[in-house]
Structure 1
Amino acid sequence: ENGSHEGAPPDEGAHRAQRVVALVLQFGERNPGLVRVMVGDALVLEHERLQQRMNQFFDRIESGLRQCLRPAAGAAGSATPSVDAQVAASVLTAFVQGRLQRFARTGLRRLPTEHLEASLALML
């Protein structure tokens, strides 16, 4: 796959973005020990490179979401599909980070995937 989804139906990009968000949140839910690393809680005394790697991880998630969403923004008639895709990708990435953060801060009680479909429907 070459990473380009220009010929895809407009809603396919949104579905792909939803899958990416769901996969990251499900991973966090299934690997609670890693959530503290993912959100930086466990990194206070850790090596700076680990924090840089987690930053890169979320940057890559955001980049992938942007690629998913750009064709849909163009197909929807946006005058600025790249900007719209970047904004949506940024919001979704912040949502993922916030859900993982909440999971860690509530002692793993509030699941990252709580009301996920309804939340994504509001954003996409």
Structure 2
Amino acid sequence: MSANQKPNRKQQILECLALMLQTSPGQRITTAKLAAEVGVSEAALYRHFPSKARMFEGLIEFIEESIFSRINLILGDHKEALIRCHHILHVMLIFAERNPGMCRILSGDAIMGENERLGIRVNQFFEKLESQFKQVLRERKLREGKGFDIPEQALANMLVSYTEGKISQYVRSSFSKKPSDDFNEQWQFLMASK
């Protein structure tokens, strides 16, 4: 029975951490505050996670799994490059909107002053997202016989920069300026200059 309780407690700790990141914008989350929110001792937190950094890594893993599993579904359902890119961007923005606490991690706000490897993990996430866009854009030549006016690398970087900017804006606005605001109009503008 204790084996069943451990994953539940671990999940509860991560959910509390995500909620605290959302409800305490700009504040540093300490293990003492987190333990109090979960209703356990700090020692109990460390029975489930060897460090606070590992707790943040658990949230980063959740972000990666959520986003890239959805991207795989998009790639399976759609063949046209621009539709794929549109859906991938939209998934990123809606995920951010629904998970404000995670945005504090993606923007670097919550992990400032924490273990350096957390920033590296977030950078790797965005590099993987950019590689995914680049692959989709390169496949356009093969599948559709069309290219772009700028190199695929530059366009992929622009799409990721747009995403990062929307997430950072959401965090800076204390979660009032939603990432998906004006997305359709902005997408139309981007595609008009393709």
Asked which structure has the greater CA Rg, the reply is 2
Aligned to 1:76: 146
What SS is found at the alignment partner of 2:171? helix
Q: Does structure 2 retain, via aligned residues, the 8 Å contact 1:73–1:85? A: no
Aligned to 2:160: 93
Kindly report structure 1 stretches of 4+ aligned residues shifted beyond 4 Å. Answer: none
Aligned to 2:170: 103
- Identify the match of residue 186 of structure 2 among 93, 116, 119: 119
Letter paired with 2:110: A
Aligned to 1:27: 95
Among all aligned residue pairs of Structure 1 and Structure 2, give the percentage whose two residues are the same amino acid: 30
Please list the CA deviations of residues 59-92 of structure 1 after superposition, one character each: whole Å capped at 9, or x if unmatched.
Answer: 01100011111133562255x8xx6211110000
Give the distance between the partners of 1:52 and 1:106, measured in 2 at CA. 25
C-alpha RMSD over aligned residues: 2.2
Give the distance between the partners of 1:90 and 1:21, measured in 2 at CA. 12
Please list the CA deviations of residues 13-71 of structure 1 after superposition, one character each: whole Å capped at 9, or x if unmatched.
Answer: 11101111111111110000110110101111211111111000000110001111113
Q: Does structure 2 retain, via aligned residues, the 8 Å contact 1:70–1:84? A: no
Aligned to 2:68: none
Letter paired with 2:185: A
- The answer to whether residue 105 in structure 2 is matched with residue 37 in structure 1 is yes
> Which of the pair has the greater relative contact order for Cα pairs under 8 Å at 6+ separation?
1
For residues 77 and 37 of structure 1, do their structure 2 counterparts lie closer, same or farther at Cα, with a shift above 3 Å needed? closer
For residues 121 and 72 of structure 1, do their structure 2 counterparts lie closer, same or farther at Cα, with a shift above 3 Å needed? farther
Aligned to 1:18: 86
Q: Does structure 2 retain, via aligned residues, the 8 Å contact 1:65–1:89? A: yes
For residues 76 and 38 of structure 1, do their structure 2 counterparts lie closer, same or farther at Cα, with a shift above 3 Å needed? same
